[in-house]
Structure 1
Amino acid sequence: MKTPVIQFGTSRFLQAHVDLFLSEGDPARAITVVQTSGDASRSRRLAALAAPEGYPVRIRGLANGQAVDETRTVTSVKRCLSAATDWPEVVRVFVEEAEFVLSNTGDAGYQPRPEDGERAYHPAMSYPAKLYHLLAARHAAGARPLVVMPMELVVDNGKVLKEAVLAAASAQAGTPELLSYIEKDVVWACSLVDRIVSEPLEPAGAVAEPYALWAIQKGAGVVVPSTHPAIELVDDLKEIERLKLHILNLGHTVLVDIWRRQGGEGDPIVREFIARPAVHAELTAIYREEVLPVFAALRQREAAERYMAVTLERFANPYLDHRLADIVQNHAQKIERRIGAFLALAHEVGEEGRRGRLGEIVASVAG
């Protein structure tokens, strides 16, 4: 069976996000999943992902105030390969079958590695270097260009990945024709993904919240692989990025700050912590008094109000054991990116007076 989608990464997020959407979408899409890590211990997961009967995704949480607890079956994954041991078959699928390239290779996926400079393919190469070799093979075979849709949580991920692949091509002394093919013919889409996937199921599958989003920015040649309620083709991805970063992510960081100011004791779960009246009151006051006015200045007040309501519902998910101890990792960096950047945005739109508690949080880690 031909698979028009080739996906790099086997994470539980992908299993409960795009793999589910493409199983349910119109048209349903067949996927070849490629494991990029070379971790032999995950061989059982690979086999289970492509099992003919599919694998389960359990959706648990709140949607429009109603409890949701249901299980869906994902049947989109038809083949699983390893970039370490099945590279010739990966190349064949990429050249002969693929129309869309998806990836979620983690924070380190784009980082250059010493092996990137080797002429021949090496399993330890970074994802952009691997992708360069695959695009070179596709170009050499005369196959038509395809759509690359990275899903890593990197701003302008399509542009960033394109530049990284071009850098790999230049380092490999790729021909002008190949460089032109990569730069002008291949379609590089920017996207943003959002869904909390709380725990894995064994040997494959995951537990996820009801909320899900895959926003893809419009552009020349950009098409969605399937129609699904969670897939949106949008004019401006930055509007959605701001909502996610400065409401959802900012809210997580505010909750961590409140917990730390209270002594950082225990191992609280987000839903239990935000259920405390004083915590809920402080967070909602920050949203209404310091955050929403900035979005109003950006003419996004209604969208921000809706997203804030959804965010508070997600925080209250009765089935999600989302621990503050997990969110606290890299807390200072998160304050800078989520809150410091928001205050800079407030200054840009003439709302620099909106420092309040957020300003105190930034000051707490300054210097």
Structure 2
Amino acid sequence: MTKDNTQILQFGSGKFLRGFVDLFAQQAIDDGLEVWPITVVQSTGIERVAQLRLQDCRYAAYIRGFLGDEEIQDDIEVKSIGKALSAEHDWLEILDICRTVESIVITSNVTEAGYVLDKTSLDMTCCPKSFPAKLLSVLISRYKANLSDVTVVPCELIENNAHALLNVVIDQAKVWNVTKDCLDWIREDVVWLNTLVDRIVASPSYEYNSVQNNTLDVMTEPYALWAIQSTSQCGLPFEHDAIDMRNNLFEVTLCKLRILNGAHTALAQSVLCSNDFTVREALDNPATLQWVRDLLYSEIAPTIVDRAVDAIEFVDTTLSRLYNPYIAHKLSDIRLMHETKLRKRLLPTYYEYIDQNDQQPPILSELLRDLI
């Protein structure tokens, strides 16, 4: 199958995907691989689409930090995005792409609270409100065109994200009274791949990094993981060292959610830190650094080590990543959807610690006092 009749459709235009999927695609291109064109869809608004078009769908990615003892400083011009569209303004063009290309991979990053239903009636000429409804509309258009070869590879930080998304899409289909044949096609013909994504992506900061900062440029750490639950590479848009095919994502998801994301959310919640700080600035305070170490080594990692044997090693790596001098990861950004993150990333550890130790975890108890 040639590049001309395949497509990567990406719902989401934020900096994470620009420093993850889009950057991976560019690195694959730079390695001489043929990569399918990416169409980026901004789900709400048009600001980033307008900026992408203004910059000919190009931007800079700055990779900074350490891999083991090796310092990485790599500047890449990302030009893997072929087209930028607004869901609100370009919906018919998006549907036309989906019912004409032979093969399509759909990826997304719409936040942890994005898997919701759209209660309005189905109208294929108008853009639906919620992401699952948009995805269902895309799939219906493809089904009606008698085309298959669809792979859905979401990047939301939700356990079993593809299966969770499929369930919401099926519920949306029932709201819209979609035919049984179309429902069966969505369940059985479309490939839904659970994933775990792991990379810290931030906006560049001239003060700390001495790089030119345009609107869409991103600063990323060298570490990257796109763990995908599958036994083969079949259906994926390209090959990349960060893509890790696994039979099971449970351990890596548990470590990522509870340790790395838990540490981020804990820092954003802590009264020790100003929300004007970056993660690195917060950890420059020795008391805050020791507080995070105590939280990770004494409360979080011991609680999950029976299910994730690499939990302690993951903490070691996480502390190194959090202390990356090049990444200006703002606590104010981490606080987006903050209560949802507290409930998903820290509250389960709190209850499990009590079950295992017959006492409350001191740090988590203080952090979560308004929720428990």
TM-score, L = length of structure 2:
0.84
Corresponding position: 1:173 with 2:180: no
User: Could you say if the C-alpha distance between residues 270 and 82 of structure 1 is closer, same or farther in structure 2, counting changes exceeding 3 Å?
Assistant: closer
**Candidates 139, 142, 145, aligned match of 1:138:** 142
Corresponding position: 1:47 with 2:56: no
CA distance in 1, matches of 2:110, 2:340: 21
Q: Residue 297 of structure 1: SS of its match in structure 2?
A: coil
Cα deviation for residue 57 of structure 1 reads: 0.6
> What residue ranges of structure 1 are gaps of 5+ in the alignment?
none
Cα deviation for residue 326 of structure 1 reads: 4.2
- 1:316-367 per-position Cα deviation (integer Å, ceiling 9, x unaligned): 111222334444566555444323201334466xx33574324533563355
State the identity %: 30
CA distance in 1, matches of 2:369, 2:151: 44
Corresponding position: 1:344 with 2:356: no
Q: Residue 96 of structure 1: SS of its match in structure 2?
A: coil
Equivalent AA in structure 1 for residue 20 of structure 2: H
Equivalent AA in structure 2 for residue 208 of structure 1: T
Moved more, 238-247 or 41-50: 41-50
Mapped contact 1:148–1:189 kept (Cα < 8 A): yes
Corresponding position: 1:317 with 2:324: yes
Moved more, 353-362 or 10-19: 353-362
Cα deviation for residue 243 of structure 1 reads: 0.3
Q: Which residue number in structure 1 is paired with residue 16 of structure 2?
A: 13
CA distance in 2, matches of 1:354, 1:308: 23
CA distance in 1, matches of 2:194, 2:364: 31
CA distance in 1, matches of 2:98, 2:106: 8
Q: Which residue number in structure 2 is paired with residue 35 of structure 1?
A: 41
Equivalent AA in structure 1 for residue 51 of structure 2: R
Corresponding position: 1:100 with 2:105: yes
Q: Residue 305 of structure 2: SS of its match in structure 1?
A: helix
Mapped contact 1:3–1:30 kept (Cα < 8 A): yes
User: Could you say if the C-alpha distance between residues 297 and 34 of structure 1 is closer, same or farther in structure 2, counting changes exceeding 3 Å?
Assistant: closer
Corresponding position: 1:206 with 2:218: yes
Q: Which residue number in structure 2 is paired with residue 159 of structure 1?
A: 163
Q: Which residue number in structure 1 is paired with residue 208 of structure 2?
A: none
Mapped contact 1:340–1:362 kept (Cα < 8 A): no
- 1:69-110 per-position Cα deviation (integer Å, ceiling 9, x unaligned): 321122321222232333333223212224211112234533
Q: Residue 193 of structure 1: SS of its match in structure 2?
A: strand
Q: Which residue number in structure 1 is paired with residue 361 of structure 2?
A: 356
Q: Residue 85 of structure 2: SS of its match in structure 1?
A: strand
Mapped contact 1:50–1:77 kept (Cα < 8 A): no
Q: Which residue number in structure 2 is paired with residue 4 of structure 1?
A: 7
> What residue ranges of structure 2 are gaps of 5+ in the alignment?
205-212
Equivalent AA in structure 2 for residue 15 of structure 1: R
Mapped contact 2:116–2:168 kept (Cα < 8 A): no
Cα deviation for residue 121 of structure 1 reads: 3.6
Mapped contact 1:213–1:230 kept (Cα < 8 A): yes
Mapped contact 1:290–1:355 kept (Cα < 8 A): no
Equivalent AA in structure 1 for residue 327 of structure 2: L
User: Could you say if the C-alpha distance between residues 120 and 269 of structure 1 is closer, same or farther in structure 2, counting changes exceeding 3 Å?
Assistant: closer
Q: CA RMSD in A?
A: 2.9
Cα deviation for residue 175 of structure 1 reads: 1.9
TM-score, L = length of structure 1:
0.85
User: Could you say if the C-alpha distance between residues 49 and 321 of structure 1 is closer, same or farther in structure 2, counting changes exceeding 3 Å?
Assistant: same
Corresponding position: 1:193 with 2:200: no
Aligned residue pairs, count: 357
User: Could you say if the C-alpha distance between residues 177 and 254 of structure 1 is closer, same or farther in structure 2, counting changes exceeding 3 Å?
Assistant: closer
Q: Residue 78 of structure 1: SS of its match in structure 2?
A: strand
- 1:150-190 per-position Cα deviation (integer Å, ceiling 9, x unaligned): 11222222112112222222222222211110111111111
Q: Residue 125 of structure 1: SS of its match in structure 2?
A: coil
Corresponding position: 1:72 with 2:76: yes
Moved more, 212-221 or 4-13: 212-221
Cα deviation for residue 266 of structure 1 reads: 8.0
